[in-house]
Amino acid sequence: MGFHSLFLCTILIPFISFGTSTHESQNFTSRSNDLKALNGFSSCLESTILDWNSSTSPDYCTWSGVTCDALPHVGTRVVRLELGSTRLSGKICESLAGLDQLRVLNLSYNFFTASLPENLFHLQNLEVMDFSNNHFEGPVSTAICSSFNRLRVFKLSNNFFSGEIPENLGNCSSLQHLSINGNDLSRSLPESIFQLQNLNELYLQNNKLSGTLSEEVGKLSNLVEFDISNNDFFGFLPNIFGGLTRLKVFNVGSNRFTATLEDLSHCRNLSMLGLSKNFHNEEMPQGQNLEFSNLKVFALGNSQIKGSIPNWLSGCKMLQMLDLSWNHLTGSIPSWIGKFNNLYYLDLSNNSFTGNIPQSFGNLKGLHVMDLKHNSLSGPIPWELSGMTMLEILDLSHNKLSGEIPQSLIELSFLSSFDVSHNELHGEIPTKGQFDTFPTTSFEGNKGLYRHSTSGFMPSPPDETRAQPHHQKLEIIGFPFWFGALAGFLITIAICFASDGHHPTKCHQAN
């Protein structure tokens, strides 16, 4: 027995040693390949990554942005390369595809140029690819998901990609987040994209996409956020909402859709509804079956919608932004808007509203912008508006308001823009607080208004016809914002409501 055991050991030990040395050799070769890939990537950069130096720091797993992991059968390998917001420039070399165990690749918010190497799209272990906010160009690779389907997150937003959205995207069966917004992509959506049953977030806004919207969108039952705004889609918006019960963000603003808005009754979880610049000359839906108790953003501006402000809107207690501007809405402004405690942006301008400004608006403690210009509102300016303590922009111009400017408005210490021009106001213009900073153009066109001066009283300047500063309008999510002290704040909030936190969600997106 002892002899046989000794004999077997003599035979087997060389093979065991050979197997161990072979594994170590393969591991060394793989690590050498990772180092070669990283050095190749670095050599194509026009900028430098300070601690990427094989001489001073031979263990590349400690380099900034590099994460390694011990993997079965292949040893310690690079699994994450995260260099977002590091101000890198240059192009991406093909050598980067040598990181064949890479799971996360994030090069977002840099200054990379040229096209993406084709071989990057053959990395079979990739789960996250983020190239957003760079200067990449050329077509989106048709090799995407041609040899693997582990990809969960794919971000190409805010670059210069052109051409079509590749049909192969439909092969990315694990995809949960797709953002290719802010490019020069054109033509229609590939039908294959509607096969992505795991898709939660789809951002295609700010491209040149066209055509009609397929009813197949309704099959994306896990969709939570959907944004195709600022494209050239047209035709009847299909009734796709019956299957989209999880939908929270729906933005189709600045297209050419027509539809019956009653169809939206299925989407009771909506927190953002962007419909601006669509549905021209249709009626504002008045149906009682519309209920959006979670709605935070409602944008239906610039659509020439007819009718009045519907009662169902009173149930939207969570509203933060309401834009019904540039329509043909009539009737009075309902007082229940003053119960929207979370409202910070209100634009009802350029309609045909009549009646008084509701006194209840004074309860809007968090309101930053109120724009009621170009209507037919009458009566006095309510002194209660001084209760809007956070107000920064107040535009009541081009109405039929009468009486005096309430002295209480001097209490609005954050007010940076105020316009009551072209009304029927009279009396002395307040002179304290922010009112000392407003130009005379804010009061013109009111024959009875005058401004106090050290030498007596100065009348308000004569009525002048001024062109509306349409060229100063900025569109975010389809609704109009003008430049002013609040612009930065509003843009930040709006972006948050249009992306992956785009708002009632967390503000991380990359768009």
Q: What digits encode the pLDDT tens for the residues 485-508?
A: 344 445 445 545 444 443 333 343
Q: pLDDT at residue 26 above 70?
A: no
- For 210-227, letters b (16+ CB in 10 Å) and e give eeebbeebbebeebbbbb
Q: pLDDT tens digits, residue range 273-299? A: 999 999 888 888 887 778 889 999 999
Phi/psi at 386 (5° precision): -65, -15
Higher model confidence: residue 147 or residue 397?
A: 397
Per the DSSP assignment, residues forming a β-bridge with 400 are: 378
Least confident among 183-187, 317-321, 348-352, 458-462: 458-462
pLDDT number for residue 301: 96
pLDDT number for residue 28: 47
pLDDT number for residue 459: 55
When pLDDT is averaged across residues 53-59 and rounded to a whole number, the result is 85
pLDDT number for residue 485: 38
- Count of Cβ atoms closer than 10 Å to residue 5 Cβ: 9
Exposed, middle or buried by CB within 10 Å (0-12, 13-18, 19+), for 20? exposed
Report the DSSP pairing between strands 75-82 and 66-71: antiparallel
Query: Among candidates 508, 474, 480, which has minimal Cα distance to 225?
Result: 508
Task: Tell me the pLDDT band of 58, cut-offs 50, 70 and 90.
Answer: confident
pLDDT number for residue 243: 83
| Alpha carbon distance 348, 360 (integer Å) | 16
pLDDT number for residue 503: 36
Query: What residues contact 184, with CB distance under 8 A and at least 6 apart?
Result: 160, 161, 162, 207, 208
> Cα separations (Å) of 186 from 211, 453, 511?
10, 60, 18
Q: To which H or E segment does residue 35 belong?
A: helix 2-43
| Alpha carbon distance 259, 239 (integer Å) | 9
Task: Tell me the pLDDT band of 211, cut-offs 50, 70 and 90.
Answer: very high
Query: Could you write out the DSSP letters of every residue in 458-486?
Result: EEPPPP------GGGEEEETTEEEESSTT
Structure tokens at 310: 């519907």
When pLDDT is averaged across residues 211-222 and rounded to a whole number, the result is 94
pLDDT, mean over the chain: 86
Q: Which residue has the tokens 């047209």?
A: 234
pLDDT number for residue 370: 99
pLDDT number for residue 501: 41
pLDDT number for residue 242: 81
Q: pLDDT tens digits, residue range 248-275? A: 999 999 999 987 677 777 778 899 999 9
Task: Tell me the pLDDT band of 73, cut-offs 50, 70 and 90.
Answer: confident
Q: pLDDT at residue 24 above 90?
A: no
pLDDT number for residue 17: 46
pLDDT number for residue 285: 84
What does pTM read for this prediction? 0.84
Q: pLDDT at residue 20 above 70?
A: no
Cα 294 from chain centroid? Answer: 18
HSE at residue 488, side-chain half, CA atoms within 13 A, is 1
Query: Among candidates 335, 285, 332, which has minimal Cα distance to 305?
Result: 285
Radius of gyration of the chain (CA): 30
Give the CATH number of domain 140-459. 3.80.10.10
Report the DSSP pairing between strands 128-130 and 328-332: unpaired
Task: Tell me the pLDDT band of 332, cut-offs 50, 70 and 90.
Answer: very high
